[in-house]
Amino acid sequence: MISTDDIDRAVAVINEADSLALACHVGPDGDALGSMLALHHLCRAHGKASIASFPEPFVVAPHYTFLPGLDTITKPADFPAAPEVMITFDCGSLDRLGGLATPAQAAGELIVLDHHVSNECYGSINLVDADAAATAVVVRHLAALLGWPLDRDAALCIYTGLVTDTGRFQYSNTTPAVFALAEELARFDLPIAAMTRQLFEEHRFAYMQLVATCLGRAQLDKDLELVATWITADDLRRFDVEIEETEGLIDLIRRAAEAEVSCILKETPEGIRVSLRSISRVDVAAIAHRFGGGGHRYAAGFTTAGTVESVLADISDALREPS
Ligand SMILES: [Mn+2]
């Protein structure tokens, strides 16, 4: 729930600001990029100066390259050090902002716009709605309060957040309100089929061969109802695949009928990056939280030191303990 006080202050702060500095979380997904770019478009359409960025590594995953406005975003090195007003999107904690956490802490006002239940409400104004299917839903709401009608570019960006965070309108967060918003957005003559193919279906052949390797080595722990696999730095080199390309792999692993929990571990320069999904019984956000991460009940993640073997053993131990 967002307090009316926070909403009123956010609208006043945005109206009064000369410019807005927008940022989303590291390794941005469709909701993070879509939400940020939607407000970036609306700022431009309504004469509000804005700058938009996300932390290093400054790489957009290939699924999202169709998003309008990507050519207008700014490298994190060129982000203002102490913005007058900064807004973060889909970002549950300061550390998910990487190098942009410093400007966030120096900002005159920090508006946190999100839907993660684990959000640490680190802003001076927190627009965090854990019932919203996507951060993009909160952006739509804010635009209405600002009296900023959507345009096609903003609608396309918001739709991207909505369709990715609901898993193509299939996850349990797919409510009547989600379909109502999708209907509003689809009226902007969006290229639904082309977007769907790029977001969910299209991959380079090299990636499909990496997937074959990952599926081949996947492990099923029948007692824990856990299916797990991993991607090493050597795999990425061998198949010439960027780590951003592997974002959707968890959605393949989680199809295993025997698994309540599914897990992918990826070797990154920052440590082992873990994605967790569950079907019903297990709260993976609680598990991710133990390792310094966060997320949603059925989708969460964290990055930690260790090896694939040691981190997978730690996750198995956490699943064994009654929560
Ligand atoms: Mn999201």
- Decide if pLDDT at 275 tops 80: yes
Backbone angles phi, psi at 81, to 5 degrees: -70, -35
Q: What spacing in Å lies between the alpha carbon of 238 and ligand 1's midpoint?
A: 31
Q: What spacing in Å lies between the alpha carbon of 283 and ligand 1's midpoint?
A: 17
Q: What spacing in Å lies between the alpha carbon of 16 and ligand 1's midpoint?
A: 27
Find out whether 83 and 21 touch, Cβ atoms under 8 Å: yes
Q: Average model confidence (pLDDT) for the chain?
A: 96
Q: What spacing in Å lies between the alpha carbon of 134 and ligand 1's midpoint?
A: 5
Question: Mean pLDDT, to the nearest integer, of 296-308?
Answer: 95
Q: What spacing in Å lies between the alpha carbon of 189 and ligand 1's midpoint?
A: 24
Task: Give the pLDDT score at 120.
Answer: 95
Task: Give the pLDDT score at 321.
Answer: 87
Q: What spacing in Å lies between the alpha carbon of 52 and ligand 1's midpoint?
A: 17
Question: Mean pLDDT, to the nearest integer, of 12-36?
Answer: 97
Domain 205-320 has CATH 3.40.190.10: no
- Provide the token pair at 299: 């989708």
- Decide if pLDDT at 2 tops 60: yes
Task: Give the pLDDT score at 1.
Answer: 74
CA–CA separation, 21 and 131 (whole Å) = 26
Task: Give the pLDDT score at 323.
Answer: 57
Count of CB atoms within 10 A of residue 278's CB? 24
Question: Mean pLDDT, to the nearest integer, of 241-263?
Answer: 95
Q: What is the pLDDT of residues 105-144, one digit of tens each?
A: 999 999 999 999 889 999 999 999 999 999 999 999 999 9
Q: What spacing in Å lies between the alpha carbon of 216 and ligand 1's midpoint?
A: 30
Closest C-alpha among 94, 88, 83, 37 to residue 60: 37
Q: What spacing in Å lies between the alpha carbon of 222 and ligand 1's midpoint?
A: 31
Q: What spacing in Å lies between the alpha carbon of 223 and ligand 1's midpoint?
A: 31
Q: Which residues pair with 268 in a beta bridge?
A: 271
Q: What spacing in Å lies between the alpha carbon of 235 and ligand 1's midpoint?
A: 28
Q: What spacing in Å lies between the alpha carbon of 26 and ligand 1's midpoint?
A: 12
Q: What spacing in Å lies between the alpha carbon of 136 and ligand 1's midpoint?
A: 7
CA–CA separation, 30 and 19 (whole Å) = 24
Q: What spacing in Å lies between the alpha carbon of 277 and ligand 1's midpoint?
A: 14
Q: What spacing in Å lies between the alpha carbon of 288 and ligand 1's midpoint?
A: 16
Domain 4-199 has CATH 3.90.1640.10: yes
Q: What is the pLDDT of residues 246-255, one digit of tens each?
A: 988 999 999 9
Share of the chain above pLDDT 90, in %: 96
All structural domains of the chain with their residue ranges: 4-199, 205-320
The answer to whether the 4-199 and 205-320 domains have the same CATH topology is no
